[in-house]
Chain A
Amino acid sequence: METTLFYAFATLAIGSALLLVNLKNIARALFLFFIVLFAMAGLYLFALADFVAITQIMVYVGGVLILMLFAFMLSNKELLKDLQDSSGSFLSMPRWQAVILAVGFLVLMIFGIAEWHQSIPTWIQQAKENNTEIIPTDNNIQQIGLRFMTFYVLPFEVISVFLMMALIGASHLSRKERNR
Chain B
Amino acid sequence: MITLTHFLVVSACIFCIGLYTVLSKKNAIMILVGIELMINAAILNFVAFGKYDKVSYGGQIFALFAIVLAAAAVAVGLALVLNVYRHYKTINPDEINELKDK
Contacts and interface: CB of A to CB of B under 8 A. Distances in A.
Interface string B66-91: 01111111111011111101000111
Given A33-B36, A147-B57, A94 B10 contact: no
Interface residues on A, range: 35 or more
A174 B76 CA distance: 9
B36 A77 contact: no
B82 A56 contact: no
A90 interface: no
B68 A71 contact: no
Interface residues of B, number: 69
Interface in A4-38: 6, 10, 13-14, 17-18, 20-21, 26, 29-30, 33, 36-37
B62 to A, nearest CB: 8
Given A49-B47, A64-B71, A166-B76, A75 B2 contact: no
12 contacts: A17-B17, A40-B43, A43-B7, A59-B67, A68-B78, A124-B52, A127-B52, A132-B52, A143-B57, A166-B72, A166-B76, A170-B79
B101 to A, nearest CB: 9
Given A3-B2, A21-B20, A67-B78, A134 B83 contact: no
A171 interface: yes
Interface of A: 2-3, 6, 10, 13-14, 17-18, 20-21, 26, 29-30, 33, 36-37, 40, 43-44, 46-49, 51-52, 55-56, 59-60, 63-64, 67-68, 70-72, 74-75, 77-78, 82, 94-95, 97-99, 101-103, 105-106, 109-110, 113, 117, 120, 123-124, 127-128, 132-134, 138, 140, 143-144, 147-148, 151-152, 155, 159, 162-163, 166-167, 169-171, 173-174
A74 B85 contact: yes
A170 to B, nearest CB: 4
Given A52-B63, A71-B29, 11 more contacts: A29-B33, A30-B29, A37-B40, A44-B43, A60-B67, A64-B70, A67-B75, A98-B20, A143-B57, A167-B75, A170-B76
Contacts of B23: 95, 97-98, 101-102
Contacts of A56: 43, 67
A110 B16 CA distance: 11
B58 to A, nearest CB: 9
Give the most central of A60, A70, A155: most B CB within 10 Å.
Answer: A60
B89 A77 contact: yes
B60 A144 contact: yes
A49 to B, nearest CB: 4
